[in-house]
Amino acid sequence: MNQNRRDMLRISTVLGLAITAGLIAPSEVFGAEWKSGGFDAKTLDETLKALGADKAAISTDVAVNGPDIAENGAVVPVSISSNAANTTFMAILVEKNPNPLSASFTIPAGTEANVSTRVKMGGTSNVHALVKADGKWLIASKEIKVTLGGCGG
């Protein structure tokens, strides 16, 4: 336990000195500035427009995986994958949620385009996987039925 504390003190001291000396910028240590993008949108169409994906094409290269019926909308496991070449961005959108954009992921070059997470669903809804590959927007959908609501239900 003491070793973990000492390691944390060493790391924070080194990072603090590097920032003070101007060797690294705080944004390099703490991550990039937050860009809300489509997270503020209230409808699926607004979300797609905010992301620049309002002309997304339905694709068999994109897949949404999740349960057909979720017993609890508060924790619904969802995974999305893309077989499209040069996938750079992936997002999970839940159509009937108050804010449809549930998660977004930037996919670094050479990385397998496959992500899994848990999303909150207010009720039965279409779940969409939105993918940007080779500068084109692709989308796939799956309906997930929810028996107990998670978003305010």
Give the pLDDT confidence score for residue 103 in this predicted structure: 92
Length of the chain: 153
- Render pLDDT for 67-88 as a digit per residue (tens, 0 to 9): 999 998 999 999 999 999 999 9
Same domain as 132, residue 118: yes
Q: What is the largest CA-CA distance in the chain?
A: 56
- Render pLDDT for 30-58 as a digit per residue (tens, 0 to 9): 555 555 668 888 899 999 999 999 899 99
Residue 17's domain comprises 1-33
Same domain as 63, residue 47: yes
Evaluate whether residue 5 is within a structural domain. Answer: yes
- Look up the CATH number of the domain holding residue 48: 2.60.40.2470
Residue 50 DSSP label: H
The strand pair at 87-94 and 125-133 is best described as antiparallel
